[in-house]
Copies of this chain bind each other. A is one copy, B any other.
Amino acid sequence: MSEWIKITLTEDELPKQWYNLNADFPAPMPPPVDLEGNPIGPDALAPVFPMNIIEQEMCTDRWVDIPQEVLGIYKIWRPTPLYRARRLEEHLGTPAKIYYKNEGVSPAGSHKPNSAVAQAYYNKAFGIKRLTTETGAGQWGSALSFATHLIGLECKIFMVRISFTQKPFRKIMMKVWGGDCVASPSQETEIGRRILEEDPNTPGSLGIAISEALEQAVQREDTRYSLGSVLNHVMLHQSIIGLEAKKQFEKVGIYPDVVVGCAGGGSNFAGMVFPFLADKAAGREVRIVATEPAACPTLTRAPYVYDAGDVAMMTPLLPMHSLGHAFIPEPIHAGGLRYHGMAPMVSHAMNHGLIEAHAIEQIECYESAVLWARTEGFIPAPETSHAIAQVIREAKRAKEEGKEKVIAMNWSGHGLMDLSGYDAFFEGRLTDYQLPEEQRLRSLLCLEGLPKPPAS
C-alpha cells in the first residue's frame, strides 16, 4: 500500500486547448439537416445558440484555444486526479492495472461543468444575458446553474416534474447557485400551459422540458438555449478529460490497452476517449469501449438515422444512432443514461469501427458500484457504474487470460445525490430490464418518412 494511487497535475499543467476529433475522422460527418434533408446552415441555429457556439459546432480545427476565463474556473476542480484502483485490483485478484479519471471532484459532482462553463462563457461573450435548459435527474441543471452564476448569466432550468418532486435536493442545489429551477410542464411557456390544461397531473418528460426551454430561448433576444451533451461543441469541451489523462499517463510512462466510458448522450465518454482516438486514428493500438444500459441501448441496438433531439422535433435532424425521438425508457431503470440518441460524433466513430459498445443490465451495474465504494472509497453515480461494470469484466478476463492489461476508465461522477437508486438496489426493488425487441421496433416507427444519412 505504499505505492502511489493517484497522479495529480498542477494548475500549470492544465491543457490550454481542447481537442477536436472532427479533424481526424477518416471521413467527414454528415451535416445536420432539416425535415426535407437539406443541410442546416449556421443561421438556422442562431435563434437557439449564439454564433460563436454555432461556429464551434461546425469547426474542424484539430485544436481550439480554451479562453482564459474558462481556464480560471476550470482550476476550481481541474486538473482532476488520475487514480490507480489498487484496492479493486487486489479484491479481484487480477493482473490488470486499473486507472480511473475522477471527474466527481467538481463542485457539481460530475464532468458536466466542463461544458457548462464553456457554454456560459461563449454566451456571455456574445452578449447573451440568460440561458435556458432542461434537466432530468438534475446533473446538467446543477452544472449549468453553477457555471452561469460564476460567469455572470441568469439560468432557467425546466426540470421534469416527476424528478422535481422525487429529487427535491437537486433543485435546492441549483438554487444555492442562483439557478431558477421550475417543474416542467410549467405555466411559464405556451407549450407548458397547453399540456397542463390537457393533463394537470402529468409527470412531465424530457421532451416537454426541452420544448419549454427552446420556446423561451427563441422568444427572448437576450436568451439562448444550452444542451449538456450530444452536440459537437460539448464533445469538444469535454476533451479536457482525456487530454489530462494522457498527460498523467505520460508522467508514469504508461499507455492504456483499453479505455472505457459510459455513454448516454455521449459527453463523458467522448471527453475521455476522443484524445485516445486521435492516437488510434494515427495507427496506435488501443481498444475504446462504450457501455450503455440494456434499458436504453442506442449504440448496440439502434439504427444510424437522421433524428430530432427532442420529442417535439423542434431541433434540426442529427445523424446518430437513435431509438427514435419518441422513445421513453422504462421507469424501472434507475441508472440514468436515458437519452434516445447518441452524439453524432460518437455515432460516427462507432460507424467507422473506432469504438466498440456493450449494453449492461442494472443489477450488475449496482453490484459493481457497491464493490467500487467498498474498495476504492468513492460512491459512484449510477451512470458511472456502467463503466465500472465493464472495467470489472475486463479485469476478470485479464485474470482468466493471465494478461497484465492496462485499463483506463472515466469515473464520470459521484452518486451522493442519487442514493435512492442504491436504496432500491439494497431493498431488492431493482430488477434487470432489457428493452424488449417489440418495443424497440415500435419506438423506431416515429423515424418513418425522415431523410436518411449516407451509409458510411
Contact = CB atoms under 8 A, between A and B. Distances in A.
A11 interface: yes
A177 B376 contact: no
B5 A76 contact: yes
A246 to B, nearest CB: 19
A126 interface: no
Which of A2, A175, A373, A375 has most chain B Cβ within 10 Å?
Answer: A373
Contacts of A375: 150
A22 to B, nearest CB: 28
A126 to B, nearest CB: 19
8 contacts: A2-B72, A4-B11, A4-B12, A87-B150, A107-B379, A109-B416, A172-B422, A177-B374
Q: Which 3 A-B pairs have the closest CB atoms?
A: A1-B72, A107-B377, A172-B419
A176 interface: yes
A149 B372 CA distance: 12
A50 B146 CA distance: 46
Interface string A69-88: 10111011100000000010
A374 B419 contact: no
A432 interface: no
A75 B4 contact: yes
A173 interface: yes
A354 interface: no
B5 A72 contact: yes
Given A1-B69, A71-B2, A426 B8 contact: no
A326 B370 CA distance: 39
A439 interface: no
Nearest to A9: B8
A273 to B, nearest CB: 25
A378 B107 contact: yes
A1 B71 CA distance: 8
Contacts of A68: 1-2
A38 interface: no
A417 interface: yes
Which of A2, A76, A168, A417 has the most chain B CB within a 10 Å cutoff? A76
Interface string A99-126: 0000001010100000000000000000
A368 to B, nearest CB: 12
Contacts of A1: 68-69, 71-73
A175 B426 contact: yes
Contacts of A172: 419-420, 422-423, 426
Interface in A188-233: none
Contacts of A15: none
A87 B73 CA distance: 10
Interface in A336-375: 370, 373-375
Nearest to A421: B172
